[in-house]
Amino acid sequence: MSSRPASQLFDAYFTGAPMRQVFSDQGRVQGMLDFEAALARAEAAAGVIPQAVVAEIEAACRAELYDFDALAVAIGSAGNSAIPLVKALGKRIAASNPEAERYVHLGATSQDAMDSGLVLQLRAAIDLLEKDLDALSRQLATQAQCHAATPMAGRTWLQHATPVTLGMKIAGWLGAIDRHRQRLDEIKPRLLCLQFGGASGSLAALGDKAWPVAGALAAELDLQLPEQPWHTQRDRLVEFASLLGLIAGSLGKLGRDLSLLMQTEAGELFEPSAPGKGGSSTMPHKRNPVGAAVLIGAATRAPGLVATMFAAMPQEHERSLGLWHAEWETLPELCCLVSGALQQALILVPGLEVDAERMATNLELTRGLVLAEAVSIALAQRIGRDAAHHLVEQCCKQAVKEGAHLRAVLDANAEVSAQLSADELDRLLDPAHYLGQAQRWVDRAVALHRSANH
């Protein structure tokens, strides 16, 4: 059992358990050990080390064999995690086969093990992200179709605008998630690259065997062989961090919209209810948007982490001092935050509780004013745009001043009555008849989603 103090109270709330496992001490150490085992196999295949020692090295490349507490202490003196791990690996192998110990980590440098190990972790992280994004996009597509014709107030600058539909709003969330899925797929060839350069990137220690070893090592790990080592060229990692920031931002948008619609004053859309969820320690009536809070929290924290990755880009010469170190916890934290937001979204979206009646009621809060544009457009076809706009604007001001419904004011206005019949006014002031292309936008978003999955 670890003697290090634990700090896990918020893990289950803000992060996803599978992603935490990927970036746990076990995951980090195993990534480096997978690199060391693959290096041994590649060097044996290239004739650099004896084939007979490979099994001995592979057998020792299991994370559970090592004392993480001791490694943590040793990192403080070594300056990175690979140095004490390679020493521990060599010591373990030497205990049973001193000859095999001579060939551990041959020609590699600490950063090769750490960066390549990180890339292996990132590959596992991408698998998790893809799975969750795929599931979320399917859920959003289903909900968008289900509510494609459910009218609600559109809101601009936090004020009622013209009517939209809930399905159209959800389709907007869907489009963003589908674009992130595409971006994630496109980034893999650039991101999932071997790091192998030795002391300064030239692999001089391996002589004329360097190139065959590099190719074999990339094949062993199923990673791309880059144009050259990227010890201080960090654009690959920063691009991925930026994508994580984008995903967090889009999930934050979903969470923000949901939390605003869940406000008491709106009461149109709610997180799925569950015993004990969203309660207050003092107010029994509270139903707080605790899931949306995770999405908004991740979107708030992610930009600072992405900024750290950008700040760490101008690394010195062939090996960085401090800037590389700044990445070590930053990128894993980003992955874990996004995974937590996705886990919450996967709970929220399929269980959304929709109050269509309240949406209809809220559309009437302005007493017809949200449909003033519809009346103005209809009048413009008969008396011209400027005249129509001015006329409807005056009617709106009168309605507000008198506390009257816009329909009554329009009815009483001779200029309006001369152009629009009572039936026409009824239709123009019905939100269901002023939804524009909302249904088509939903259909298009869902169609694009489906085409991306075939």
Six token digits for residue 227: 């144009």
- 3-state SS string over 381-428? HHHCHHHHHHHHHHHHHHHHHHCCCHHHHHHHCHHHHCCCCHHHHHHH
Query: To which H or E segment does residue 446 belong?
Result: helix 438-452
CB 443 within 8 Å of CB 451: no
* Among candidate residues 386, 406, 390, the one with its CA nearest the CA of residue 398: 406
Q: Apex CA 184: angle with CA 183 and CA 187, to 5°?
A: 85
The DSSP line for 207-270 is GGGHHHHHHHHHHHHT-B--SS--TT--HHHHHHHHHHHHHHHHHHHHHHHHHHHTSTTT--EE
Instruction: Sort 254 into a burial class: Cβ within 10 Å, 0-12 / 13-18 / 19+.
Output: buried
CB 237 within 8 Å of CB 310: no
Q: Apex CA 118: angle with CA 212 and CA 195, to 5°?
A: 25
Instruction: Sort 437 into a burial class: Cβ within 10 Å, 0-12 / 13-18 / 19+.
Output: exposed
Six token digits for residue 297: 């929290």
Catalytic residue numbers read: 280, 319
Cα gap 289→268, rounded to integer Å: 13
CB 195 within 8 Å of CB 230: yes
Q: Could you tell me how far CA 6 lies from the centroid of its own chain?
A: 26
Six token digits for residue 437: 């292309």
DSSP state, residue 201: S
Name the phi and psi angles at 444, rounded to 5: -65, -45
Name the phi and psi angles at 314, rounded to 5: -75, 70
CB 265 within 8 Å of CB 358: no
